[in-house]
Structure 1
Amino acid sequence: MESASPRLLLVEDDRALTALLGDLLTEEGYEVDVAGDGQHGLHHALSRDYSVLVVDRGLPVLDGLGLVTRLRAHGVTCPVLLLTARGALNDRVEGLDAGAEDYLVKPFEVAELLARLRALRRRHQDAAVRLPLGQRRWLDVGNRRVLDGDEEIPLSAREFAVLRALAGRPTKVFTRAELLSTAFDHADAPGTVDACIHHLRRKLGRGAIRTVHGLGYRIGTG
């Protein structure tokens, strides 16, 4: 669930525009983090969870398309709004194909930017209510359950927390320490993660969770 103050990452190398947008977005109720190039933007986006990203296409070090492509390859699913001075159809198509959800051409009206961000967050929240776990299976986040077709597969609170973490970042390999901090008490031993994975596989099938030897676990194909 999102906090009362949604966190936004603004990746923009124009300092004047960054200062202006930072103030306006803060007034709108966002907690705003700022990065001045694509490499720092990538680091921020991989290190923290954001409600939405605003990314300039023409960034130094790593451009906006490269940033979005890398984020999607790492399993980061938060919505991205690209800002650009390029308004040609091919440029918009490239941005959307790279994994951005929306595209706004400079110069733009601030009211339109804010409205688009609200729409992106609404759509993302609606889509995140269910996370895919295979062809017919879904993790129903709102009701904390797994649906296999019309059938419900009951999970314990810990099993749900582990599966929610894995399904939310489908290309990420989670270490035992990461899953331990997500779903267990700090006093629990790392072996409790393995036991939870074992119980999940008994309920969902061995292919539901993959072991990446020497690293940890990631979601499987069911």
Structure 2
Amino acid sequence: MTRLLLVEDDSELRGMLAEALTDEGYVVDQAPDGQRGLHLGLTRPYDVMVIDRLLPALDGLDLVVRLRSRAVVARALLLTALGTVQDRIAGLDAGADDYLTKPFDLDELSARIRALCRRTSESTEVLRLGPGQLDLSVRDVVLPDGTRIALSAREFELLRVLAARPHTVHSRSELRSRVFDEAAAASLVDTYVYYLRRKLGRSVIRTVHGLGYRLGTL
């Protein structure tokens, strides 16, 4: 399901938007200020973040900048009453993907969110690992704090196979054939699971007893 983060200090508007977006099938988390939005954005995976420009505690622009500096790649849509060209440029330069001026039509907001979701689904540069990500372009894992950890070729490929289908349990024989080769011993899969857990933490790969492995989280 598509997950949205809604950061808006106007409680009436926030509630109305959350209800409307939930009715459209999104899973919506709400934050009344920038600090709460920052915490949610860093600890939970989202497809799109809808962020008010003028927020208490932490401004919307600063919020986007901080999230981008910590390798959060969810699409960001800024809502604002500031509609000048310079304001829009500032929002886009901060790392936002789109900009919508208040007052806005709810149908237009929905259409813009759908467009951002399509852009997210079409992106193949990263795969999610809970609050972190696997950067396919350089074969690094990006931790939630922005730290990068390099993987060997086989570590990367094993994690990529698991992250591409995060809810699927993969048998050892399947992983052996996809990551190694048929001649390899099945125990080689266990060895590389151990290597990844040693680098990234035990929770990154879950053991499903009697069946195999599935993706966990950082």
**TM-score interval, smaller chain:** 0.5 to 0.7
After TM superposition, give the deviation of residue 51 of structure 1 in Å: 1.2
What is the aligned partner in structure 2 of residue 133 from structure 1?
137
Query: Unaligned stretches of 5+ in structure 2?
Result: 127-134, 141-152, 165-195, 210-217
Q: Is the 8 A contact 1:162 1:182 kept in 2?
A: no
Deviations 1:11-37 (A, max 9, x none): 000011011101100111111110000
What is the aligned partner in structure 1 of residue 149 from structure 2?
none
Q: Which residue identity is paired with 2:203?
A: S
Say whether 1:180 aligns with 2:194: no
Q: Which aligned pairs between 1:169-208 and structure 2 lie closer than 5 A?
A: 176=198, 178-185=200-207
Task: Give TM-score, length-normalised by structure 1.
Answer: 0.63
Deviations 1:33-67 (A, max 9, x none): 10000000000111100111000010000000000
What secondary structure sits across from 2:4 in the alignment?
A: strand
Say whether 1:114 aligns with 2:118: no
Q: Which residue identity is paired with 1:59?
A: L
Q: Which aligned pairs between 1:136-151 and structure 2 lie closer than 5 A?
A: none
Note closer, same or farther for the CA distance 1:26–1:158 as it changes in structure 2 (3 Å cut). Answer: same
Deviations 1:100-155 (A, max 9, x none): 00000000000000000000010121123665434xx89xxxxxxxxxxxxxx777
How many residues align? The count is 160
What is the aligned partner in structure 2 of residue 57 from structure 1?
53
Q: Is the 8 A contact 2:197 2:203 kept in 1?
A: no
> RMSD in angstroms over aligned alpha carbons?
3.1
Query: Unaligned stretches of 5+ in structure 1?
Result: 139-152, 165-173, 188-216, 218-222
What is the aligned partner in structure 2 of residue 88 from structure 1?
84
CA distance in 2 between counterparts of 1:99 and 1:156 reads: 28
Q: Which residue identity is paired with 1:183?
A: I
Q: Which residue identity is paired with 1:72?
A: R
Q: Is the 8 A contact 2:197 2:205 kept in 1?
A: no
